[in-house]
């Protein structure tokens, strides 16, 4: 059981480039989220989804796009990379609903550097 798989693990981008961070889960979870972790800031929610075809903005959505065409996949798109988007990105999934006591399962992260 792979859980939550994120690719790539590392990426360097030039300012203005675009790219997609991939996230896939094999647990048939309804909820999926993207977080970024910056020093001293904890984890901040970028976008989230409560099911296929349904997405919404989190705390820091600017500069990012998401879509959820299937239950399994939740890609995060950087439209025009900026140095302020240098961070570690985590994708997470959860069965949601009454089982939210078990929280989210996180992927191992993508370390992104924008130069």
Where does this chain bind other proteins (CB under 8 A)? 4, 31, 33, 35, 40-45, 48-50, 58-59, 90, 92, 94, 96-97, 100-109
The residue (of 17 and 106) whose beta carbon lies closer to other proteins is 106
Shortest CB 32 distance to other proteins, Å = 9
Provide, rounded to whole angstroms, the least separation between the CB of residue 2 and other proteins: 13
Name residue 20's beta-bridge partners.
77
The Cα–Cα gap between 11 and 40 comes to: 22
- Please compute Rg for the chain using Cα positions: 13
End-to-end Cα distance, the chain? 36
Reference 105, options 88, 95, 97, 93; nearest CA is 93
Q: How far is the CB of 77 from other proteins (least distance, A)?
A: 20
In the bound state with other proteins, the residue whose beta carbon lies nearer, of 14 and 68, is 68
Inter-CA distances, 38 with 6, 71, 75, 112, Å: 18, 28, 20, 11
Rounded to a whole number of angstroms, the minimum distance from the CB of residue 15 to other proteins is 26
User: Measured from the CB atom, is 43 or 82 closer to other proteins?
Assistant: 43
């Amino acid at each position: 059981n792979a859980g939550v798989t994120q690719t790539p693990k590392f990426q360097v981008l030039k300012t203005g480039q675009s790219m997609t961070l991939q996230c896939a889960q094999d647990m048939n979870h309804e909820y999926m989220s993207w977080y970024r972790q910056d020093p001293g800031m904890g984890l901040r929610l970028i976008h989230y989804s409560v099911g296929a075809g349904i997405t919404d903005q989190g705390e820091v959505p600017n500069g990012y796009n998401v879509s959820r065409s299937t239950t399994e996949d939740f890609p995060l798109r950087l439209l025009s990379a900026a140095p302020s988007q240098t961070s570690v990105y985590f994708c997470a999934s959860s069965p949601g609903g009454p089982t939210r006591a078990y929280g989210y399962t996180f992927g191992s992260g993508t370390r992104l550097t924008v130069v």
